[in-house]
Chain A
């Protein structure tokens, strides 16, 4: 275990311990149903968090993803309602749009030398606004193909469902892992996170890479939008408010450093599952009022982060000794 992988192992350890604690209190937590739900219910978050991980690894941030997912849902629903296009064609169109949108933001960030936080904040307003312009109301999706997608699941023993969405998330994570840790592009991303000026001196085409990074995030947000539209079979411009913050929290819990340059895509998966676990635990408990729910979520978030810090400190101290 090197100092680099330490945060990852800390994250995994904490997740497992937390799961154990939950199981001891509610034995039903270990059913395949809950595990299947954990994957399915967090699929959209997992997919978008992969994109977010890459952005954060490069030292950036993308606040627009929640709005882009909402936009995607509305776009798909409206297109399916108003045109005769097959959903797959609509998906392709949508991914082209969101990828281009991400690329556009990346371009602005580079050309204007503006901080990503602000450019993507404007992007967040813009994407949600665009969603409103397509439709103010929520639009249901009724297409036979969606029935097919929805019913594509593998029934695990114990009635848990391993759905298409859950599998799609796992595949996205695997893809993200390869992209971030096994390609030249990934190394460039880490390089930018290590220091943009240095990266430039080492020959990273900073402009191009920035565009690619945000385009990737836009693509993943679009993909997550597709997943979300399958999940809810509708498009709603008000959906997903604040999802970007959940995604960021998942990435951070997963052990990626917000300033960039260090982290693991796999950690993000654990982060997402951890967030899902918190949610599930609160629902299983079912006694918290609305306000205590918020406080407890905050407190658990804090606990995870502090535990992680503690484990890290312990680890480095041992390594030094």
Chain B
């Protein structure tokens, strides 16, 4: 056994995040760690790498007891880790991030050329085109994710830990990552893989361990394990109708009913001017590769990066969208892609985070009463199944997926008429995933219009009435009705530049 964990326990004020968990990792296996949001996966990892101090429990590596007090110590023991949210330094260059702590030196000084060479080598297996001399922060989340993986792979002499590494990657990059993981497995590394994508789990892992509420509920070989059974382990009950029909089959979209119109909105250097009309209760999907300009489209629509061209109007005339406040006033909502920096207000409680946007709209002079806030918080904690010890817990202390739910709750409480969701299910477990899709259905039935950005085409197919394809910062195609199928979307994304006749309406 390469790595063993025995009766690991970790308590936070008000929460027992891990309750005497056992875990084994063999050399040369990929071991998936599964569980709902807040089950304790990330906590387990952090206790293992010394980022958190555990309360109880023994760790052994290669038969010898270990007790890393810091991540540095863990690195030196040969444990390389990619943490859930990208944990690299945006203000350093890619090369510095990759070689951090082990930069080649000459006469005590960092040898820049050798460092660059080393960094380029580290990245060579991943098929990305990156200038390692540029600041990491200038690259997208996806690139950062890959850099983090490349770094962890190099550091992992014995164990590689990947905490939701694929959350912001598209299928091409996932395939590339899995190639790397497979070759590491062949070299005899032990790999811990955390993901909410069961397909990926089945594709790459040899064994799975399932956590629920901080306890280990099962460890099994993947071969012969049934998908539904696995989900049952995770949720503690069966999942109701996990797979469903795409809804475009049910709701035909009639262009004449569209009430919200954007004409020629765009911004130089970010996204070329595009038109968009939205109908009541309609769900529009935005598909495209990483960096294609989906997020930018959303930011322009929500006034974060104000439009330089074009207008927006509804039945009552033109609407101003110069900043998010005006967008909110116009009845828009926006759940951003990067919840950590753009979404949550970490030190405020779950209650306050949920009430925040509503309060901002009402103005400072009319506070939402405490009772009302409590009611709101309880309602959404219940409805979105937010796992928290109570509504007063700081959002920053919630697990990643639950933070995402809080951000959704904040906007649902506003009951916007046009709700933009950028990667709404990133890092969300299967149960909550289904719950969110159901929720979208519910609110659109009440008349809310939704724009969903997602890298998971299945998800788009499942919810969208219409899909717009974005490529190279341009809206290049629109798929409606029966065209909304995974294959057609993939083809539209990959189509060569024959877009002149296919240009979005």
Inter-chain contact B101/A203, CB cutoff 8 Å: yes
Residue from the list B51, B89, B109, B269 in contact with A182, Cβ < 8 A: B109
Total contacts A to B, CB within 8 angstroms? 72
Interchain nearest-CB distance for B360 vs A (Å): 25
What are 24 inter-chain pairs, A to B, with CB distance below 8 A?
A3-B135, A182-B110, A183-B109, A183-B110, A184-B101, A186-B110, A187-B96, A187-B100, A187-B103, A187-B110, A190-B92, A190-B96, A193-B91, A194-B91, A195-B89, A198-B87, A198-B89, A201-B71, A202-B71, A202-B87, A202-B100, A203-B101, A205-B72, A261-B89
> When chains A and B are docked, how far (Å) is the Cα of A194 from the Cα of B93?
12
B433 at interface (Cβ–Cβ under 8 A)? no
Inter-chain contact B72/A4, CB cutoff 8 Å: no
- Residue-by-residue, is B85-104 near A (CB-CB < 8 Å gives 1, otherwise 0)? 00111111000110011010
Chain B residues whose C-beta falls within 8 Å of the C-beta of A3 in the assembled complex: 135, 138
B393 at interface (Cβ–Cβ under 8 A)? no
Chain B residues whose C-beta falls within 8 Å of the C-beta of A205 in the assembled complex: 70, 72
A199 at interface (Cβ–Cβ under 8 A)? yes
Contact-residue size bin, chain A (C-beta under 8 Å from the other chain): 20 to 34
Given known contacts A182-B109, A184-B103, A321-B268, is B70 in contact with A261 (CB within 8 Å)?
no
Instruction: Using CB atoms, name the residue of chain A closest to B155.
Output: A203
B224 at interface (Cβ–Cβ under 8 A)? no
Chain A residues whose C-beta falls within 8 Å of the C-beta of B96 in the assembled complex: 187, 190
Chain A residues whose C-beta falls within 8 Å of the C-beta of B101 in the assembled complex: 184, 202-204
A262 at interface (Cβ–Cβ under 8 A)? yes
Inter-chain contact A191/B92, CB cutoff 8 Å: yes
Chain A residues whose C-beta falls within 8 Å of the C-beta of B269 in the assembled complex: 320-321
Interchain nearest-CB distance for B90 vs A (Å): 6
Instruction: Using CB atoms, name the residue of chain A closest to B72.
Output: A203
Chain A residues whose C-beta falls within 8 Å of the C-beta of B110 in the assembled complex: 182-184, 186-187
Inter-chain contact A194/B92, CB cutoff 8 Å: yes
A25 at interface (Cβ–Cβ under 8 A)? no
Contact-residue size bin, chain B (C-beta under 8 Å from the other chain): 20 to 34
Chain A residues whose C-beta falls within 8 Å of the C-beta of B90 in the assembled complex: 194
Chain A residues whose C-beta falls within 8 Å of the C-beta of B14 in the assembled complex: none
Instruction: Using CB atoms, name the residue of chain B closest to A182.
Output: B109
Inter-chain contact B89/A191, CB cutoff 8 Å: yes
Chain A residues whose C-beta falls within 8 Å of the C-beta of B100 in the assembled complex: 187, 191, 202-203
A279 at interface (Cβ–Cβ under 8 A)? no
Instruction: Using CB atoms, name the residue of chain B closest to A198.
Output: B87
> When chains A and B are docked, how far (Å) is the Cα of A122 from the Cα of B271?
51
B75 at interface (Cβ–Cβ under 8 A)? yes
A142 at interface (Cβ–Cβ under 8 A)? no
Chain B residues whose C-beta falls within 8 Å of the C-beta of A201 in the assembled complex: 51, 71, 81, 83, 87
Interchain nearest-CB distance for B209 vs A (Å): 23
Instruction: Using CB atoms, name the residue of chain B closest to A261.
Output: B91
Chain A residues whose C-beta falls within 8 Å of the C-beta of B72 in the assembled complex: 203-205
> When chains A and B are docked, how far (Å) is the Cα of A204 from the Cα of B75?
11
8 A Cβ contacts from B261-297 to A: 268-269
8 A Cβ contacts from A137-196 to B: 178, 182-184, 186-187, 190-191, 193-195
Residue from the list A183, A184, A190, A321 in contact with B89, Cβ < 8 A: A190
Additional pairs, 18, CB under 8 Å, beyond known A4-B135, A202-B89, A202-B97: A183-B110, A184-B105, A187-B110, A190-B96, A193-B91, A194-B91, A195-B89, A199-B89, A200-B51, A201-B71, A202-B71, A202-B87, A203-B72, A204-B72, A205-B72, A261-B91, A320-B269, A321-B269
> When chains A and B are docked, how far (Å) is the Cα of A262 from the Cα of B89?
11
8 A Cβ contacts from B50-97 to A: 51, 70-72, 75, 81, 83, 87-92, 96-97
> When chains A and B are docked, how far (Å) is the Cα of A194 from the Cα of B91?
6
B317 at interface (Cβ–Cβ under 8 A)? no
State the A residues within 8 Å of B (CB): 2-4, 178, 182-184, 186-187, 190-191, 193-195, 197-205, 261-262, 320-321
State the B residues within 8 Å of A (CB): 51, 70-72, 75, 81, 83, 87-92, 96-97, 100-101, 103, 105, 108-110, 134-135, 138, 268-269
> When chains A and B are docked, how far (Å) is the Cα of A130 from the Cα of B282?
72
Instruction: Using CB atoms, name the residue of chain B closest to A208.
Output: B72
> When chains A and B are docked, how far (Å) is the Cα of A204 from the Cα of B103?
13
> When chains A and B are docked, how far (Å) is the Cα of A194 from the Cα of B108?
23
Chain B residues whose C-beta falls within 8 Å of the C-beta of A261 in the assembled complex: 89, 91
Inter-chain contact A320/B268, CB cutoff 8 Å: yes
Instruction: Using CB atoms, name the residue of chain B closest to A202.
Output: B100
Inter-chain contact A190/B91, CB cutoff 8 Å: yes
Inter-chain contact A183/B134, CB cutoff 8 Å: no
> When chains A and B are docked, how far (Å) is the Cα of A4 from the Cα of B89?
14
Top-7 shortest CB links A-B: A194-B89, A203-B72, A261-B91, A320-B269, A194-B91, A182-B109, A201-B87
Residue from the list A183, A187, A200, A321 in contact with B71, Cβ < 8 A: A200
Residue from the list A178, A184, A202 in contact with B88, Cβ < 8 A: A202
Inter-chain contact A262/B91, CB cutoff 8 Å: yes
> When chains A and B are docked, how far (Å) is the Cα of A205 from the Cα of B269?
40
Inter-chain contact B109/A178, CB cutoff 8 Å: yes
Interchain nearest-CB distance for B68 vs A (Å): 11
Chain A residues whose C-beta falls within 8 Å of the C-beta of B105 in the assembled complex: 183-184
> When chains A and B are docked, how far (Å) is the Cα of A193 from the Cα of B96?
14
> When chains A and B are docked, how far (Å) is the Cα of A205 from the Cα of B72?
7
> When chains A and B are docked, how far (Å) is the Cα of A187 from the Cα of B75?
18
Inter-chain contact B71/A203, CB cutoff 8 Å: yes
Inter-chain contact B109/A203, CB cutoff 8 Å: no
> When chains A and B are docked, how far (Å) is the Cα of A205 from the Cα of B101?
10
Chain B residues whose C-beta falls within 8 Å of the C-beta of A2 in the assembled complex: 134-135
Residue from the list A186, A203, A321 in contact with B75, Cβ < 8 A: A203
Interchain nearest-CB distance for A181 vs B (Å): 8
> When chains A and B are docked, how far (Å) is the Cα of A204 from the Cα of B105?
17
Interchain nearest-CB distance for A5 vs B (Å): 11
Residue from the list B83, B88, B92, B108 in contact with A183, Cβ < 8 A: B108
Chain B residues whose C-beta falls within 8 Å of the C-beta of A195 in the assembled complex: 89
Inter-chain contact A200/B89, CB cutoff 8 Å: no
> When chains A and B are docked, how far (Å) is the Cα of A5 from the Cα of B165?
32
Instruction: Using CB atoms, name the residue of chain A closest to B134.
Output: A2
Chain A residues whose C-beta falls within 8 Å of the C-beta of B81 in the assembled complex: 201
Indicate the member of A2, A199, A201, A261 with the most B CB atoms within 10 Å. A201
Indicate the member of A178, A186, A194 with the most B CB atoms within 10 Å. A194
Chain A residues whose C-beta falls within 8 Å of the C-beta of B92 in the assembled complex: 187, 190-191, 194
Chain B residues whose C-beta falls within 8 Å of the C-beta of A320 in the assembled complex: 268-269
